[in-house]
Every structure is written in structure tokens, then in C-alpha cells.
Chain A
């Protein structure tokens, strides 16, 4: 069955430090991959997405992610975090044939230390 794993439930980093959030997926074909961010009490905002082509994708708010087919991974990175990046981050796989839906990972909560 298709699945998405985010191994880290909670990560704490200091403001200004670099960040990497991990995401692994299980899917039979080349997936459509997404990273979303959710602030408390809010909906999901799309940070970036990968469909094909260049495996390093740039997103909003200074985030980037790299697709590695050999590792079935799509890790999210940011070189220097800001206090406003504190939120929950979700990785998702998109099904675009048949059922149009997203399968989400369990999320990683990011805390920023001042």
C-alpha cells in the first residue's frame, strides 16, 4: 500500500540554524510529491511540489526539497530558519491516476529556539 513516513515527530532547532525534515514514501510509480505547512488552527499551505524534471525544487519562504528516487525520499531543507517557521510540516504523495487524492505523512512539528 502507498504510504508516507515522516520519521521525526518533533524537531527543535535554534533560530538561524539549518533545517532538514525527512520524508520517505512507498509508491509504485514516480509520485507527485508535496510539502505543506500548517500553523496552529489553520489550513495547509503548499510550500513546494515535485512532479518531474529537476530533482531539486525551490518553494516559498526559502524552502527547498530534493527528490531521491533511489532512497524514496523527498526531504525538505532550509538553510536558516526564522522564528516564524515554527509550525507543523506535512509531506504528501499525490495520486493523479484514478483516485485524485493526497496521502499524508503524520507530520513533523517544528519548534524554534530563540
Chain B
């Protein structure tokens, strides 16, 4: 079966711009979670969506937001980009819990 698909793979944005990243989960998976990976902070939980509802949110500023559509695809948005937002953003899908995560290959965001 197809895995978790994240698009685009690479992005370069300028400070102050906004960006939208997309995640298509495995068919049948209703939970989509997002993680940020940086060399300094490691892997940090951003938020989780289940059946179009945000169930949990990590400790990130309000500039980070997301949504999930009825087909379970998810998008995350970062507004007013800062240099520190440069990171690998990973999406994981599951049927409904952390025990069945499948990760995508990530989107590498570079803010200049």
C-alpha cells in the first residue's frame, strides 16, 4: 500500500512569508500528527488531527496551525516565517494512536 506522502520535499522561503505543507496519510488512517525536527531541539510534537479535529497541540506559537480534511489529508501552515523555523517537518499517520505511526519522508523547509 502507498505510504505517507508529504509535499513538497523541499522549500525555500524568505523571512516573513508564510508556507503550507501537505501530508497525505495511508488510506484508512484517520489520525495525522506533525513533528518538527531541528538539530538543536530534536524532534518535537506540533499537533495531531483525528477525523478533522485537532486533538492535541504541542508547545509552539500560534504561527503554527494546521487542519485536516474529510479525506484525512492534512496541511500545516506557518505564518510570518522566522529563521528558526528552518527544519524538517515530519508527518505521521495512524489508525488512531501512537502505536501505529507511519512517518512520511518529510518536508525540508529553509527560511532565508
Which A residues are within 8 Å of any B CB, using their own CB?
A: 32, 34, 36, 41-46, 49, 51, 90, 92, 94-96, 98-107
Contacts and interface: CB of A to CB of B under 8 A. Distances in A.
Given A42-B106, A43-B106, A46-B101, A101 B42 contact: no
Contact of A100 (B55, B90, B108): B55
A26 to B, nearest CB: 16
Interface residues of B, number: 27
Contacts of B55: 99-100
Nearest to A105: B42
Grouping DSSP codes into helix (H, G, I), strand (E, B) and loop, the A interface class, with mixed when no group exceeds half, is strand
Given A42-B106, A43-B90, A45-B103, A101 B43 contact: no
B99 A107 contact: no
Contact of B99 (A32, A45, A90, A105): A32
Interface of B: 4, 6, 31, 33, 35, 42-45, 48, 50, 55-56, 58, 90, 92, 96-99, 101-106, 108
Contacts of B106: 42-43
Contact of B104 (A43, A101, A107): A43
Contacts of B50: 100
A42 B35 CA distance: 14
Contacts of A36: 103
A42 B9 CA distance: 10
Grouping DSSP codes into helix (H, G, I), strand (E, B) and loop, the B interface class, with mixed when no group exceeds half, is strand
The 10 A-B residue pairs whose C-beta atoms are closest, nearest first, are A43-B103, A94-B98, A104-B43, A99-B56, A44-B103, A101-B45, A43-B105, A106-B42, A43-B104, A43-B106
A102 B45 contact: yes
Given A90-B43, A94-B98, A106-B42, A100 B104 contact: no
A100 B33 contact: yes
A95 B55 CA distance: 13
A94 B90 contact: no
A94 B99 contact: yes
